[in-house]
Each structure stands twice: as structure tokens, then as C-alpha cells.
A and B are shown apart, each in its own frame.
Chain A
């Protein structure tokens, strides 16, 4: 079964989801070709075990992000099952490729089996949908749902020149809200809520994040209340959906809309002074304490590891 994977990048290198997509493709018996938009990460992609070939798609249309231009340029390079990350940008390009190719599209798969049987969360994780589709089709995959294969591949790279009309031009790239690790890329996330009291107290979260290489997230109440906490940090229904190995919620009550974005995390730790806070209902390890008392100890203990 032919599988075409659209590589996802961050800056000048591959996002870890790209290798996970290769893992997902192989797990359902596919032979993956990886398309690298703008040629970014093609060298890295060729070393992912199990990759059959790499298409480095180069052209000015990839200089900035215009999902229609990208879809028009990438679509002719696709065969069989087209796969991408279920990041917002991945979905946007994939949905247009599916419309161009008139194939069904299923977004945000967390499980795939040969056949193709797909599971994905719906209603913000309140239910799971299992459906069956036959190739050709398009599937986006949630990050951290599949293991990445090793790095002993040596796939051949072919370069194609793509062109397509661009309708979006960037006037101004605004300084990134923070140069820190983004919650959607992190394997460990520590998030703060309204219970942090003041935005300056997020510094305690950043200190811990630095110790373990985590990203700092926030609840909507924190984002809405404090200008210093940008929306890019928001986890939940109207923020980002994250799927890390470890999610630490500090001073977050655990509203259903917050849970929607993080309940599928592998392990959840909650620090909250209210023993009845709903966040304890989803926490693997709950600590009933104020953050003022708990965070300094947490930082020291993590630093000792």
C-alpha cells in the first residue's frame, strides 16, 4: 500500500511527528514516501527507518504558508494514503489535498490498523469514533500516538520543482510570543491557571520547565485574565490539544473545556489547594497543596534526578 507522508517541520528541522507518521504508516503495512515541502528536513527524513523514498518539493510557493498553494503543489506528488500531522496547519493542507483529489479525509487519528481501521477522539475526547476506510484516503495523525522508528534508513532523495499561485502574503511576522518550547511540541508540559494569582508567578513554572525540558501552558482563565500570558499557551477546547507523556496542572480547576485539550496525556499530575477540584478526577497523581508550597520542592526534587 502506497503511503505519502507530508513532512512537518519546526524552523529548519523536522518535527518529531514526521517520524511518528512513518511509524504509523509502517504499522498498517504501508510503504511510505515522505514529501518535504520546501525541501526542509529531507536529509533528516531519509534516515528515518522504513522510509521508501523522499521527495524534496522545492519552489517559491513554500516560502511562506499558504495552505491552498501548498495543497496545489503537493497534491500531484501524492499517491495512495496521504498522511500528515493533525496540527492546525497539517489539517488545513490535508483537507484541501483531499478535496482536490476527491478522497475522504479523516483528521486526528490516534489509532490505525491495517484495513484501514481508524480511531479518533470526538466531542473533545468525550467519545471515541472507530471507522473504516479504504485507500485512497487522507488521514492526519495526533502527535505522540505512534512510536517513531529508528534512524538507520537511507532513502533516496529526489527533488521536484513545484510552483503554484500564492494568495497570502506576510506583511509582518510578529515577534514570537515567547521563544520557549511550544506546548504542541513538548513531551512534558507544566501549565498554570488562575490559581497562580499573578502572571509574574509563571516564572516558577518556567524554572521547573527549564529543569526538565518542558513547555509551559496555561488555562483559558489565565490567558484571558493576563495579557502577559499569550493565547498560544492555552490548552483546551479553544486552545491547543496536547498529548504529552506528562502534564502537570498547577492552580487549574479542571473545567471540562480544559480537560478537552489534555485528558489524553499519558500521565497527569495536579497541584491544587482545593481537594475537591475536578482536575483530581483525571490526575494520576494529585497533590493537595498550594503551589507556593509545592513548586519549590518540585523544582528541587526534579533537579536532583
Chain B
């Protein structure tokens, strides 16, 4: 079995996002991290690898800085690392999907794990889109996955509640928050990871010709500032707040 895990480097969830000249200023981002849902995908990919003796390939698509998260993945146990190098980080989701699908095809993975959405674009299109291009079954909102006789058992939040589902290969699991946090690397893992080669591929190495996006970015802007709120001291102010909710805000 060959497992691919798709990882994206995003501004850390605590990072300040600043806008300059109508676009988000990436150079001003203080800290970049692995997107939180991807961490869960990586943890469960490691568990699948350990239970089934599989090969685990970590793949990212992004600019040069993104290879850091591949090394982080190697430190906890990813076997090989692929960096699909693209300059334009705001690239159309369909191009990213095509590139990732081609990289997965190249390594012959039959199960793919990823996060349900990235913490920057917050879209959630990549996993399902990759599955669709590859013709894989797609299971989203997953919190656990384990191997079963000839396929997998996953826990997911279905439209009507939590469900245990069985899925056969080939398939893609898009992770919601997992039941287990990602393990932390040990010193040996970190040392080994430093020596691990990252295979860097360009779109043309993958035989993908990028399409011109039909979505054009007009601008990024700061969220509308809310007028400063009203603050009241003590529980005795509760009746005042309730009447304001009724008369000022009209929400109750």
C-alpha cells in the first residue's frame, strides 16, 4: 500500500494578516505552519503506515518556503517527500488539484489523506477535487481511519451525525479535527529528517499545463471594523443587555 498525505503551509493561526496595496502581504507573515487539519491527516497517515507496513509520501504544492513542512513531516515518519514547486501561491484551486493529482498518480498512491480545508483560503475544494480527478472515493469530515480487511474503516461526521463507514481503495480521506493530535518529533527524527531528500517537481515535470484561471482577484480587504461594543460591570447589568438585545439589536 502506498499512502499519500497532502500538506499545505499556511500562516500560523496566530499570525497577523496585513494587507498592503489591496492584497494580503505574505512577506509580513511572521510564522508559517502546517495547516491544522493537515496535521490530523498526517497523524492518521502515520498510523495507517504503522499498521499496514505501507510507504508514506508527503506531498506539498507551493513556493520554496513550503518545503519546511515536508521536513517536519519526515521528522515524525514520512518516508519520502515531494514538493510541487509553484510560484503563485494564490493559484486557482483547479490548477493545484491537477498538480497534486498528477503527483499522486506518479507515486502510485491508492489512499490519500488531507485536511478538509486549508487555514488560508478556507475553501475545502482541493481534497474532493483531487479525488474526483483521480476517480477516487472521497470521504470528508473524517476524525479517525484504520485499515480493514480489504479497505478502511473511517469515523466521519455525516449529514445526520457521526457514522462509522467502510470504504474500499482507491480513496481519499479529508480530515476534520481528528481524535488524536499529531505526535511530536523526537530528536532522532529531527536529525534524520534534515538528511532526507525533497524531490522538487515543476508543473512540466508532472506533465501538467496550467490553465488561466477564470476567477480574477479584485482585492483583499480588512474585515469591516465593528463599532466598539458596550461593556457593563456586574450581573446586575444583565436586564439592561437583554432589553438592548430586544430594542437596539432586534435579535430576540
Q: Does B215 interact with chain A (Cβ within 8 Å)?
A: yes
Q: How far apart are the CA atoms of A269 and B238 in the complex, in Å?
A: 10
Q: Does A7 interact with chain B (Cβ within 8 Å)?
A: no
Q: Does A105 interact with chain B (Cβ within 8 Å)?
A: yes
Task: Tell whether, in the assembled complex, residue A267 and residue B251 are in contact, meaning their CB atoms are under 8 Å apart.
Answer: yes
Q: Does A225 interact with chain B (Cβ within 8 Å)?
A: no
- Interchain nearest-CB distance for B252 vs A (Å): 6
**Chain B hits for A257, CB < 8 A:** 13
Task: Tell whether, in the assembled complex, residue B125 and residue A98 are in contact, meaning their CB atoms are under 8 Å apart.
Answer: yes
**Chain B hits for A127, CB < 8 A:** 17, 19, 24, 220-223
**A285 touching B245 in the complex, CB below 8 Å, given contacts A122-B122, A133-B215, A177-B162:** yes
- Of all chain B residues, the one with the shortest Cβ separation from A15 is B159
Q: How far apart are the CA atoms of A102 and B93 in the complex, in Å?
A: 11
Task: Tell whether, in the assembled complex, residue A293 and residue B235 are in contact, meaning their CB atoms are under 8 Å apart.
Answer: yes
Task: Tell whether, in the assembled complex, residue B166 and residue A285 are in contact, meaning their CB atoms are under 8 Å apart.
Answer: no
Q: How far apart are the CA atoms of A287 and B117 in the complex, in Å?
A: 34
Q: How far apart are the CA atoms of A209 and B17 in the complex, in Å?
A: 35
- Interchain nearest-CB distance for A238 vs B (Å): 5
Interface residues of A in 102-127 (CB under 8 A from B): 102-108, 117, 120-127
Interface residues of B in 93-127 (CB under 8 A from A): 93-94, 97, 116-117, 119-127
**Chain B hits for A298, CB < 8 A:** 238, 242
Task: Tell whether, in the assembled complex, residue A65 and residue B235 are in contact, meaning their CB atoms are under 8 Å apart.
Answer: no
**A174 touching B163 in the complex, CB below 8 Å, given contacts A107-B124, A127-B17, A284-B249:** yes
**Chain A hits for B230, CB < 8 A:** 284-286
Q: How far apart are the CA atoms of A283 and B239 in the complex, in Å?
A: 17
Q: Does B77 interact with chain A (Cβ within 8 Å)?
A: no
- Interchain nearest-CB distance for B250 vs A (Å): 9
Majority DSSP secondary structure for residues of A touching B: mixed
Task: Tell whether, in the assembled complex, residue A168 and residue B143 are in contact, meaning their CB atoms are under 8 Å apart.
Answer: no
Task: Tell whether, in the assembled complex, residue B220 and residue A67 are in contact, meaning their CB atoms are under 8 Å apart.
Answer: no
Task: Tell whether, in the assembled complex, residue B220 and residue A173 are in contact, meaning their CB atoms are under 8 Å apart.
Answer: no
**Chain B hits for A302, CB < 8 A:** 242, 252
- Total interface residues on B, CB under 8 Å, equals 85
Our pick among A123, A137, A188 for the contact of B24 (Cβ within 8 Å) is A123
Task: Tell whether, in the assembled complex, residue A170 and residue B242 are in contact, meaning their CB atoms are under 8 Å apart.
Answer: no
Task: Tell whether, in the assembled complex, residue A131 and residue B162 are in contact, meaning their CB atoms are under 8 Å apart.
Answer: no
**A294 touching B238 in the complex, CB below 8 Å, given contacts A256-B14, A285-B230:** yes
**A122 touching B252 in the complex, CB below 8 Å, given contacts A128-B223, A170-B163:** no
**Chain B hits for A245, CB < 8 A:** 251
**A92 touching B238 in the complex, CB below 8 Å, given contacts A124-B122, A246-B251, A285-B244:** no
**Chain A hits for B47, CB < 8 A:** none
Task: Tell whether, in the assembled complex, residue A99 and residue B218 are in contact, meaning their CB atoms are under 8 Å apart.
Answer: no
Task: Tell whether, in the assembled complex, residue B165 and residue A168 are in contact, meaning their CB atoms are under 8 Å apart.
Answer: yes
- Of all chain B residues, the one with the shortest Cβ separation from A173 is B163
Q: Does B207 interact with chain A (Cβ within 8 Å)?
A: no
Task: Tell whether, in the assembled complex, residue A130 and residue B13 are in contact, meaning their CB atoms are under 8 Å apart.
Answer: no
Q: How far apart are the CA atoms of A237 and B218 in the complex, in Å?
A: 26
- Interchain nearest-CB distance for A44 vs B (Å): 17
- Interchain nearest-CB distance for A177 vs B (Å): 7
Beyond the given A71-B128, A88-B141, A128-B221, could you list 9 further A-B residue pairs with CB under 8 A, ordered by the A residue number?
Answer: A66-B137, A93-B128, A99-B94, A104-B214, A168-B137, A173-B158, A234-B177, A285-B244, A288-B232
A-B contact pairs, 17 of them (CB 8 A): A65-B159, A68-B137, A92-B174, A96-B132, A127-B220, A130-B221, A171-B164, A174-B161, A174-B162, A176-B161, A231-B143, A231-B176, A231-B177, A267-B245, A284-B229, A284-B230, A286-B232
Listed from nearest, the 6 A-B pairs whose CB atoms lie closest are: A167-B137, A293-B235, A99-B132, A95-B128, A176-B161, A95-B125
Interface positions of A (Cβ within 8 A of B): 9-11, 64-68, 71, 88-89, 91-96, 98-100, 102-108, 117, 120-134, 137, 167-177, 188, 212, 231-232, 234, 237-239, 245-246, 256-257, 260, 263, 266-269, 275, 280, 282-290, 293-294, 297-298, 301-302, 305
